[in-house]
Every structure is written in structure tokens, then in C-alpha cells.
Amino acid sequence: MGGLILNEGVEAYMNGLLPKRDVVLSEMEKLAKRRDIPIIGPACARVLYLMAKLTKARRVFEMGSAIGYSTIWLARAVGPQGRVYYTDGDASNSRTAREFLTRAGVERRVDVLVGDALKLLEQTPGKFDIIFIDVDKHQYPESLRRALPRLRSGGLVIADNVLWSGKVTRRAHDENTRGIQEFNRAIYASHKLFPIIVPLRDGVAICQKL
């Protein structure tokens, strides 16, 4: 979870407008806060859900899923005929995710894959309507390079934490900040993408493949 980009009062106001989540999502939010587990959070999750709905997405690949919070939002968006590919390198996270997916009633729409997300993307055949990037930040540039060929024309690459608590505005002294800076430059320089960065929470990039 990144820091606030917006004025704290504005951030609190926007979060106060959000409808109450169901029991499963609310429990996941509390668990993430208690254990400091990075999840996308409800405000950004609504962006994911809306993008999946608007593009009529049926195949979604998540590069980094943690306990499956974003997975549930995406699985609900793609509907019973859709497929979401969950990935995480932590077997414990995947077990927790399975439990929440089952309780949310979307487990049949999700393939739970454990391991390195970049390798798992290579091993999963077919094109995708959305690829969501939320892995270690130094992996963002390589994730983008691998995601682009796997995305259908008109599909979306969506990435979380692209403003990185504002650290992207300064000279980078760590590989994660450099990774995000390189990713942001790459999406705007690409002739294959139409990108925007939404300064919501820690920054969300939404890029359509042309």
C-alpha cells in the first residue's frame, strides 16, 4: 500500500463516499490492515471493476494478487463465463485467497497459480482482455514488456502504485522507484498504448492497447 497522493481531507472525503462492502471484502480489508498486507483497496478496486465491465472482459490475468482482494472484484466483473488468473509467490497467501474466493462465491471463475507472475504469464496460453500489474515494483518494466504481446487489441494494461507515494518525482536511489519511473516513461512513449495515470490513492495507470 502506498502513501496518499491527494490531500488527506480529499482522500478521506472520497473514501467516505464509498458504499459499504459486503462481509467478505470488509473482512479482507481488516485483515490487510492488521497484517500490513498490500491490497488495492476499495476505491481503486472499483476502477478495476468498472474497466472490466466497460471492456466486457472475459479473460483477466493478475500479476500479483496477495490474498485475492482485487481477484474477487475482477471475478465478479467478468461474470460466470469469465476467467481470472490469480498469481502470487506466497503459498500462504494463495491458501488465504482460496478461502475468501470460496466464501465470495467466485472460486469457479478463478485459476489460482502460485509462483513468479512473469513466468506464470508465459506458461498460461491465450490472449487477455486485461492484465493487471501489481508485482514487485522493480519488475514493472519487464512485466509491461511481457504483458503487451499477450493483450488483445483494445485490451487494457492496468498497474497500481505508479505514483509510489510521490517518490517518482525525485531522483531515484532504489530499484523499485526506478522501476516505476521506467514503467511510466515506457507507457507514455509506446506507440502501442494510449495511457492515463489516475492520481487515486497511490496512482493507477490505465493503458489501452491500440
Domain that holds residue 138: 8-209
The values of phi and psi at residue 143, to 5°, are -60, -40
CB atoms within 10 A of CB 199: 11
- Cα dist. 170→129, 162, 163, 173 in Å? 34, 13, 11, 9
Asked if residue 140 belongs to a domain, the reply is yes
Asked if residue 1 belongs to a domain, the reply is no
CA distance 6 to 9: 8
When computed from its CA atoms, the radius of gyration of the chain, rounded to whole angstroms, is: 16
pTM: 0.95
CATH number at residue 68: 3.40.50.150
b/e for 172-185, b at 16 or more Cβ within 10 A? eeeebbbbbbbbbe
For the chain, report the end-to-end CA distance as a whole number of angstroms.
30
Pairing relation of β-strands 83-88 and 110-114? parallel
Please list the pLDDT of the chain residue by residue as tens digits (210 residues).
Answer: 445 577 889 889 999 999 999 999 999 999 999 999 999 999 999 999 999 999 999 999 999 999 999 999 999 999 999 999 999 999 999 999 999 999 999 999 999 999 999 999 999 999 999 999 999 999 999 999 999 999 999 999 999 999 999 999 999 889 999 999 999 999 999 999 999 999 999 999 999 999
Q: How many domains does the chain have?
A: 1
Type of residue found at 169? T
